[in-house]
Amino acid sequence: MRRMMARWHLCFVLIFCNGALASALWTKDHRFDDSLPSPSALSVDHSETVHVKGQCALLANSDHGFQGFFYNEDTKNCTLTSSVYLTNTPLTSSPGFRYYRSTPFACPLDYVLHEQSGTCFKLHKVPTTWTMARDACSAVNGRLAVLDTQEKEDFFLDYLDSAPPGTNGWGFYLGAHRPSDKWNKAWTTPGVHDLEWLSGQPVALPPSHWGDGEPQNMNTNENVLVIFRNGEHVWGFGDSRVDAPYYFVCEFALF
Ligand SMILES: [Ca+2]
């Protein structure tokens, strides 16, 4: 603590740290906005009132094994922790607190990151079946891509546009299918496709996002979701049989 205070004092005297530099090592995790981990989950290694966020970051930068900090702009409370918290950490409402982690958001090589959801995507340009694609994603602790929020879908479509598959006509299997009791059956209600994301959410795409004539459950055996080129620089979703040779997209969550 003596060393920490000495460094702190020096910082104030020489350059009056405003946090811009000191906090550069820390990554804000907005999913913890206005909250703290529940008392049973919160590991407080040091807590004090500071003047600015940069002071809190500087304390966290000290070599005491801190992995993150919570800072409250209103109360100036700086809470340093030796734990890295995940999105499944139980939280309590704590208005004003923001969480900064030592671990940057980073995906493995060849993956791209959708930071808002903490999701890493990877295009696999190897034609295979939907079932084999699903298993390949599971083998790396992921799953076929689930675009069950507008933010993920928008990000993914931009990604596809920047990384075209290179072979005209190929599409990608995604992580959506019909429940098993509805496979290879005609729709019970015309126009209700019954496709579900692997997250359990229904596939609720706007009509304009589907490819021409899709989904149509051709030959009553199109039970999974694909995305394919539907014209120049346009992607369209469609239902497909499971054994068409499509590429596929895996995702996994960082947190
Ligand atoms: Ca179709």
Domains of the chain: 2-101 (3.50.4.10), 112-253 (3.10.100.10)
The residue to which tokens 């100036």 are assigned:
76
pLDDT attached to residue 164: 60
Which residues, other chains included, contact 235 with Cβ-Cβ below 8 Å and sequence gap of 6+? 157, 160, 161, 227, 228, 229
pLDDT above 80: residue 38: yes
Higher pLDDT, 32 or 189: 32
b vs e for 153-189, b when ≥16 Cβ sit within 10 Å of the residue's Cβ? bebbeeebeeeebeeeebbbbbbbbbeeebeeeeeee
Q: How far is the CA of 182 from the centre of ligand 1 (A)?
A: 15
Which residues, other chains included, contact 237 with Cβ-Cβ below 8 Å and sequence gap of 6+? 174, 203, 205, 209, 210, 211, 214, 215, 225, 226, 227
- Confidence label for 22 from pLDDT (cuts 50, 70 and 90): very low
Q: How far is the CA of 183 from the centre of ligand 1 (A)?
A: 14
Distances (CA, A) of 96 to 30, 58, 76, 253: 12, 20, 9, 27
Contact criterion met (CB below 8 Å) for 91 and 35: yes
pLDDT in tens, 189-233: 877 899 999 999 999 999 999 999 999 999 999 999 999 987 776
With a pLDDT cut of 90, the percent of the chain lying above it is 51
Q: How far is the CA of 169 from the centre of ligand 1 (A)?
A: 14
* Sequence letter at residue 111: Y
Q: How far is the CA of 221 from the centre of ligand 1 (A)?
A: 9
Distance CA 1, CA 164 (A): 54
pLDDT in tens, 63-105: 678 889 999 999 999 999 988 887 678 899 999 999 998 876 6
Q: How far is the CA of 206 from the centre of ligand 1 (A)?
A: 16
Distance CA 173, CA 182 (A): 19
Q: How far is the CA of 216 from the centre of ligand 1 (A)?
A: 5
pTM exceeds 0.75, yes or no = no
Distance CA 30, CA 98 (A): 7
Tokens of 86: 């995940």
Q: How many residues does the chain have?
A: 255
Q: How far is the CA of 218 from the centre of ligand 1 (A)?
A: 6
Which residues, other chains included, contact 18 with Cβ-Cβ below 8 Å and sequence gap of 6+? 52, 54
Q: How far is the CA of 123 from the centre of ligand 1 (A)?
A: 21
Counting Cβ atoms within 10 Å, is residue 129 exposed (0-12), middle (13-18) or buried (19+)? middle
Q: How far is the CA of 245 from the centre of ligand 1 (A)?
A: 14
pLDDT in tens, 105-159: 678 888 998 888 889 999 998 999 999 999 999 988 899 999 999 999 999 999 9
Higher pLDDT, 4 or 77: 77
Q: How far is the CA of 153 from the centre of ligand 1 (A)?
A: 19
